[in-house]
Amino acid sequence: MSEETQGHYAHTKEADLLGGGQTGRRIKVVMLGAGSGFTEPLMTDILNIPGLDGGELALVDIDLERLELAHQLVEKIVELMGKKGSWQVTATADRRKALAGADYIVNCIEVSGLKAVRLDYEIPLKYGVDQCIGDTVGPGGLMKALRTIPTWVEVLKDAEELCPKALVLNYTNPMGMMILAASHVSNMQVVGLCHSVQGTSHLLARHAEVPYAEMQWKCAGINHLAWFTELTHEGRDLYPILFEKARDPNSEFYQGDPIRCDIMLHFGAFVTESSGHFSEYLPYYRKRKDLLEKYTRSGYRGESGFYANNWPKWREARDEERRQAIRGERQIRTSRSWEYASWIIEAHQTNKPFVIHGNVINHGLIDNLPQGQCVEVPVMIDRNGFNPCYFGPLPPHMAAICRSNMAMIEVAVIAALERSREAAFHSLLLDPLTAAVCSPAEIKQMTEELIDSQIELLPGFEK
């Protein structure tokens, strides 16, 4: 079984013997950024946790219209699931009011994204830096960090004052930068959550044509660039099957993920993020028009500007879907998803160990990645909270690709915490894709243009 499968389903007799934890108590979960698309599935998942007597789902958003939509939708889900007597849903724009006494904080905030998403894409493109998503590394990731991390720091300070024992579950990108920044400023227990490991492991089981529950694997690295270093079924290595399919450019496997397949063929292992997003972590595929034409496809497979062109429309569509659900025109899912949040809460409440893949600080977890930086590894959850698991070394060439991005991430965090133009420039000097395209002088000019274009969104920076 994979670690995910063990975590989801192995609430074994042995685990039961470890102790009952806090089963049956009422809990308070705070959802920061209730306008997020994560709100509906995560709140539904929490309502599916067995053994809880209920509690409070506290929704927070500074966009009052979207906050009200979220409030009405979650109330409807609570009623639909027959939980109205046990769960209270509150909504406020005052995060301090919501955070008081919280047991769990789910962070899904978006800071000024609508105002900046086109700038994050179009300005770097003028300099030849072509991004598909652009919200975790590179110019887009840097700018999102500069906008988001100052607010994130304030959230963590409020949490230390108002709910110091709460577990903090971060879904907001840029993931690596958010978790690293948290480690610099806060003592809260924080984990970064992404569904790329779950999604990719299911994808690989399908293409290897084995039952997911029977597939065994190991995976570690950094967010969006974690490597499946082992992939077996009943002791049989599955990579030869995947290699054969990847060598056929007309296969469903290759066409669905051309860049991930190409990297697997050359590096020897598959990675966790879609071809389009993953390509931004690399110096190989987005630096020339002919390479883009050869290796990228539509949508998440590498389309230029895919996120900038579509995210505002996705946001509007999600709001309309909420209105439809509130009016009874759309069926609401009430089953539990594979998103990690509710499984973490259940494991913490019941003390039944559960394994996720989370983003945490590397304190002796991956030997050949920088210590003190953010990595993605198996993390065991129990009543003590987050317990990261030792992985060991990655194959050296895989570790090197991770390290090249970790250098950029480290300096970008300094830029965000210190409001430093110089550090922002230095971070892009180290970015693998930007460095493959631009000279240092061009990177300097691009950084200045990016910051100046968003100066009103960047408190602490001067024009």
At 140, is the secondary structure helix, strand, or coil? helix
Q: What is the CA radius of gyration of the chain?
A: 22
Question: Which residues are within 8 A (CB) of 250 and not within 5 positions of it... i.e. 6 or more apart?
Answer: none
Pull the structure tokens for residue 401.
């690709």
How far, in Å, CA of 99 to CA of 112, rounded?
A: 22
Calpha distance 72→46 (Å, rounded) = 17
Q: Spot the catalytic one: 11, 71, 184, 195.
A: 195
DSSP run (H or E) holding 441: helix 440-453
Q: Which residues pair with 359 in a beta bridge?
A: 192, 376
Q: Is 220 left (phi over 0), alpha (psi -120 to 50) or beta?
A: beta
What is the rounded CA–CA span in Å between residue 131 and residue 293?
14
The CA distance from 273 to 136, in Å, is 12
- Smallest CA-to-CA distance from 245 within 226, 262, 232, 228 is with 262
Where does residue 463 rank: exposed (0-12), middle (13-18), buried (19+ CB within 10 A)?
A: exposed
195 a catalytic residue: yes
Distances in whole angstroms, Cα of residue 161 to Cα of each of 102, 152, 157, 181, 345: 11, 14, 7, 18, 21
The amino acid occupying position 41 is P
**CB distance 106 to 42 below 8 Å:** yes
Q: Are 374 and 222 in contact (CB under 8 A)?
A: yes
**Active-site residues: which are they?**
195
